[in-house]
Amino acid sequence: MPLSPAAAGPARRPGLFNRIAATAAGAGIVAGLLLTGVQHLQLTSLIRTAETYEVAAQAASAAPQQHEHQHEDQHQHQHEHAVPGSEHEHGAAEHHHGGWEPAPGGERLFYTVLANVSMAVGYALLLAAALTLRGKPVTWRSGLLWGGAGYLVFFVAPSLGLPPELPGTEAAPVVARQGWWIATAGATACALALLAWGRHWGLKLAALALLVVPHLVGAPQPAVHGAVAPAALARDFIVAAAVANAAFWLALGALAGWFHARSSRAG
């Protein structure tokens, strides 16, 4: 029942876009905060540890250059010994690709929350749009299925080719990897939709092809594989990321289902 008479007429109901946005905002904000909690418990310390290896590796690779430089200079400019050292310090400070970056601690956490929530609201908008186009009644339980599908599309399928990586891992150029990531997620989404709703066997066959082709093509790989963090740390990170993203997607799906059902009843 509408809260006010003004909400009763079809023309004066809140627009469909606003209802989708409200569902996505509710689900995305809650799930994004939940993700931040899980991430903080499980993932952040692994990222910080990997960064200490990254900084140490950069310092080690800078050291031999400094040594050679000193040899060249010894004949002429003994007094300039401090110069290579100061360049080295400069390099270590720039380890995060230059430009502004949040200060460690509260500021970094604040921006991580902001990024998690906008990511979660972004995914929730896609989910709520899909629920609306599908047009079938949804509960938080059927929302779990949608969340599971989102986990397969946006985490599992891309991770098969490009596993979550710690800082300091050698990888192919980022634009090529992003292209493969997006193409794989898109193909997997189409495949799951065809498997769920396609009636003709030909469509199911096309779905299987869409599932497999990105992995036959293969993700872009670096010329040389390598990482500064130990392999055990990288494995721990993949497992922790898989668990955190599963929790995130199931929560996002259930919340989107619940908010969507509520706004459908109210509308």
Partner 1 sequence: MSPVTSHSVEAATPLALKDKLVPALGAAALGIVLLFGAGFAPMEALHNAAHDSRHSAGFPCH
Task: Please tell me whether residue 26 binds partner 1 under the rule CB under 8 A.
Answer: no
Cα 110-151-28 angle, rounded to 5 deg: 40
Residue (of 112, 4, 1) closest to 48 by Cα position: 112
State whether residue 244 is helix, strand or coil.
helix
Task: Please tell me whether residue 94 binds partner 1 under the rule CB under 8 A.
Answer: no
Report the alpha-carbon distance of residue 221 to residue 180 in Å, rounded: 11
Burial of 3 (0-12, 13-18, 19+ CB in 10 A): exposed
Task: Please tell me whether residue 85 binds partner 1 under the rule CB under 8 A.
Answer: no
Report the alpha-carbon distance of residue 150 to residue 228 in Å, rounded: 32
Q: In whole angstroms, how close is the CB of 241 to partner 1 at the nearest point?
A: 6
Task: Please tell me whether residue 218 binds partner 1 under the rule CB under 8 A.
Answer: no
Distances (CA, A) of 40 to 44, 45, 193, 246: 5, 8, 33, 15
Task: Tell me which stretch binds partner 1 (CB under 8 A): 55-63, 119-127, 223-231, 252-260.
Answer: 119-127
Task: Tell me which stretch binds partner 1 (CB under 8 A): 18-26, 58-66, 73-81, 141-149.
Answer: 18-26
Binding test (CB under 8 A) with partner 1, winner from 58, 70, 142, 159 = 159
Q: Nearer to partner 1 by C-beta: 247 or 254?
A: 247
- Write b or e for each residue in 14-52: b if 16 or more Cβ atoms lie within 10 A of its Cβ, otherwise e: eeeeebbbbbbbbbbbbbbebbbebbeebbeebeebbbe
Binding string, 222-251, against partner 1, x = CB under 8 A? -------------------x--xx------
Report the alpha-carbon distance of residue 50 to residue 68 in Å, rounded: 29
Q: Nearer to partner 1 by C-beta: 35 or 210?
A: 35
Footprint on this chain of partner 1 (rule: CB under 8 A): 1-2, 5, 8-10, 13, 15-17, 20-21, 24, 35, 39, 43-44, 47, 96-102, 108, 111-112, 114-116, 118-119, 121-126, 128-130, 132-133, 135, 155, 158-159, 162-167, 171, 174-175, 177-178, 181, 241, 244-245, 264-265, 267
